Structure 1
Amino acid sequence: MLTLGEVAATAASIVEMQESSGAIPWTPGQHTDVWNHVESAMALVVAGRVAEAEHAYRWAVETQRPDGSWPMKVVGGDVVDASGETNMTAYLAVGLWHHWLVRRDSAFVHELWPSVSRALDWVADLQLPWGGVAWSQEWDGAQPHRVNAEALLAGSSSIHHALRAGVALASLLGDPQPTWELAGARLAHALRSHRDLFLDKSTFSMDWYYPVLGGAVRGEAGRDLIASRWDEFVVPGLGVRCVDTNPWVTGAESCELVLALEAVGERDRAARLLADVQHLRSDDGAYWTGLVYPEAVNWPNEHTTYTAAAMILASDALADRTPGADVFRGQTLPAFDGLAVDCGCPSALSAHEVAGLA
């Protein structure tokens, strides 16, 4: 686990790369996407850099489109990829719930709630009949266009997490959102029972652990899922491969697996993995993206904000230094178990279940 001084130095490395607009790009000169931007804001809250974090959150509010989505890539204020990605758009809900857990600032929750509401409404509208969520929507000029009607397992797992956070925020504000609850129940069922219906990205480690990280698969089932491919992705002493066939370990994926392990009670193994990946840390507290082995070459040759953010959040979860440590563990979040769909009918809940939420 990182010391308080190390957390402060790593947060400073994120702030150093934050743009004057509030945007937090991957690294200076590269693009900002709202998912990694929010992840960095969460880490800044953990480190006590609240002003910079809230500047980042307000950038998200200011750049959200009328339909609730964000462009996939923004460079220096210019949109370079206008496509809207559902899991990126949904993640603001997780960030705002995390901010509430740490800060208990009801005024800030009220300020961002309209943006979270528009975002999750847009995401829920793109849910597919069998429960997964379409991964993106293309834009034609200034207008939304074709929906890419296939679902990504990792992305939908993150959306499941965001829907839980959204429902928690809705409860906090007394503004029930039964549509999100229904979408979350259908999505949870798909992530537990119909993972074969998602696009096959099984060479990527994210598809392996994300159903656990996103909260749909927990307990013994979660531990079994992590055990099923551990030897394929985890390199002892170095971290987690991004892709199972490539000799490249990455800090962000390693830390996300730390968070997934912690969420299913594997805290000792999580702590060892976090320690293993500290070879990516620079003297100033910034983090390299990854390491190619056995050459021991950092690649790409850059420090990234999202890697630094993942390190802070993983360390916070293990140290329990802030109430935000629960955001991935999810004990403060509602579950959709009571609304699980029948295996014979994955495309819809019964009329009785719908009426029960009305």
Structure 2
Amino acid sequence: MTFAPALALEGVLSAQQLADTGKFILSQQLADGSIPWWRGGKLDPWDHVEAAMGLSALGHHDEALAAYEWSARTQADDGSWPMEQTDGVVTEAASDTNQCAYIATGVWHHHLVTGSTDVLLRYWPTVERAIDFVVRQQRPGGELAWAVDPQRKADDFALRTGSASALHSITCAIEIAGVLGESKPGWQRAAKRLRDCLVESPRSFADRDRYSMDWYYPVLGGALRGCEARDLIEQRWDEFVWPGFGVRCVNDHPWVTAAESCELVMSLDAIGETASATKVLSDIQCMRDETTGGYWTGYVVADEAIWPEEQTTWTASAVVLAVDAVTGTTGGSGIFRDYALAEEQDADGAAS
């Protein structure tokens, strides 16, 4: 059944506009359930799930399940998916650990939106294989190898953004296990080591300091909350946030991107900074295409130009999820706010 919940953000996006965004995502979904960046474009397992989450939040539950069914059907025996494919043809056979982990976030999100335990039971084998694959790539310091190559050899470096996102996915997988009565102490240990590495050993990760994702993802992924999270966001706010336009993708170019802006929105929501989150979300509406209901990937402020000239399903979905986060409309609105491994801190910085 398909229905449209009253997802809207007063003064920013109406229910009809968001319904149109849902139609845009649906228009790009293929008959087999897969959701590429756009029809004829590439598909990766993380963005496919992100798009499905947007469909869940907008009430397109059957279509979201078709996307998860595609994931289950195409999963490799080792629990992974290829990093990139187009129209079913694999174009990058390596497997990104963070991309593979994200199925747990998507399935848990669908459960939160719908209240269905059946979806957890149906896709538990898929989630279990995926998280087992990811945990096997954990390095001695706790960080996750970024990817495994086509010969299944793990890379010798890790990325802060990917590890932080995977931490959140492992946390969601542990939640699924708890509902189903499954014991996963190995996952719990891996998550604790990963969180400690993200917080205490930043040099364990390859240098991607110029990217805004490396700035806010420890908050979005749940490694940090409380005073530590607020301090982290404040430290580089002026470097990455462009008032009136959104969030830079990188700190050395005048290019703001809608998806990174929405992820910052959800990070801000997770630490209670709802007013700032709403302002950033409002600022990026310059990247909306009212004709399609979709969003352009980015905008070069200095040139007053859209770039690249593409509208992706995952960007549209990020907007949907950000609106849901700040409005608390669906049961899945707290997917990034409520599922964190961080120790909460009081105003004085003491763990509680």
Q: How far apart, CA to CA, are the structure 1 residues paired with 2:143 and 2:19?
A: 38
Per-residue deviation at 1:28?
A: 2.2
Counterpart check, 1:323 vs 2:334: no
The structure 1 residue matched to 2:31, chosen from 9, 15, 20, is 20
Q: Pick from 79, 85, 88: which aligns with 1:77?
A: 88
Structure 2 gap ranges (5+): 1-8, 345-352
**1:133 and 2:144 matched:** yes
Distance in 1, Cα, partners of 2:342 & 2:303: 46
What is the aligned partner in structure 2 of residue 174 from structure 1?
Answer: 181
Instruction: Determine whether 1:293 maps to 2:304.
Output: no
Contact 2:242–2:248 under 8 Å retained in 1: yes
| Offset at residue 6 of structure 1 (A) | 1.7
Structure 2 CA distance for aligned equivalents of residues 180 and 5 of structure 1: 41
Which residue matches 1:159? 166
TM-score normalised to structure 1 length: 0.91
Task: Give the alignment partner of residue 10 of structure 1, picking from 12, 16, 21.
Answer: 21
Contact 2:57 2:113 in 1 (8 A): yes
Match of 2:321 in 1: 313
The 2-side partners of 1:13 and 1:253 are apart by: 20
Match of 1:56 among 56, 62, 67: 67
Tell me the equivalent position of 1:268: 275
Deviations 1:216-252 (A, max 9, x none): 0111110110111111111110000101101110000
SS, match of residue 146 in structure 2: strand
Match of 2:131 in 1: 120
Aligned residues: 332
Match of 2:350 in 1: none
Cα gap change, 1:334 to 1:198, in 2 (>3 Å): closer
Structure 1 range deviating more: 316-325 or 2-11:
2-11
CA distance in 2, matches of 1:148, 1:335: 25
1: CA distance, partners of 2:343 / 2:148: 29
Mapped partners of 1:177, 1:216: distance in 2: 19
Q: What is the Cα deviation at residue 335 of structure 1? A: 3.2
SS of alignment partner, residue 285 of structure 2: helix
- Return the letter of the residue paired with 1:285: G
Aligned partners of 1:185 and 1:336 also within 8 Å? no
Q: Does 1:257 align with 2:264?
A: yes
Amino acid at match of 2:83: M
Q: Distance in 2 between matches of 1:63 and 1:35?
A: 14
Question: Alpha-carbon deviation of 1:285?
Answer: 1.3
Q: Take 1:161 and 1:214, find their aligned partners in 2: how far apart are those partners?
A: 5
Matched residue SS, 1:132 = coil
Structure 1: 5+ residue stretches without partners? 339-358
Aligned letter for 1:106?
A: T
Over the residues paired in the alignment, what is the CA RMSD in angstroms? 1.2
> For the Cα contact (< 8 Å) 1:38–1:57, is it kept in 2?
yes
Code of the aligned partner of 1:37? H
CA contact (8 A) 1:133 1:156 kept: yes
Cα distance in 1 between the residues matched to 2:188 and 2:194: 10
Structure 2 distance, partners of 1:327, 1:169, is: 13
CA contact (8 A) 1:154 1:210 kept: yes
Aligned mates of 1:74, 1:62 — CA distance in 2: 15
Cα distance in 1, alignment partners of residues 56 and 103 from structure 2: 14
- Conserved? CA contact 2:268–2:274, under 8 Å: yes
Q: Distance in 1 between matches of 2:20 and 2:44?
A: 23
- Aligned twin of 2:193: 186
Quick one: distance in 1 between partners of 2:184 and 2:340?
A: 13
CA–CA distance in structure 1, aligned partners of residues 166 and 71 of structure 2? 18
Q: 1:199 aligns with which of 199, 203, 206?
A: 206
**Partners of 1:41 and 1:53 within 8 A in 2:** yes
Q: Is this contact kept in 2: 1:167–1:334, CA < 8 A?
A: no
The aligned residue for residue 341 of structure 1 is none
Q: 1:335 aligns with which of 337, 341, 347?
A: 341
Matched letter for residue 57 of structure 1:
Y
Residue-by-residue CA offset, 1:314-351 (whole Å, 9 max, x unaligned) = 00001111010010102xx363659xxxxxxxxxxxxx
Question: Deviation of residue 21 (structure 1)?
Answer: 1.4
Of 262-271 and 24-33, the range deviating more from structure 2: 24-33
- C-alpha deviation, 1:58, in angstroms: 0.5
Q: Output aligned runs, 1:31-110, within 5 Å.
A: 31-110=42-121
Instruction: State percent identity of aligned pairs.
Output: 45
Decide whether the 8 Å contact of 2:168 with 2:340 is kept in 1: no
The offset of 1:312, in angstroms, is: 0.1
More strand by share: 1
Q: Please give the per-residue CA displacement for 1:141-191, whole angstroms capped at 9, x wherever unaligned.
A: xxx2x2102110000000110111010000000001111100000001011
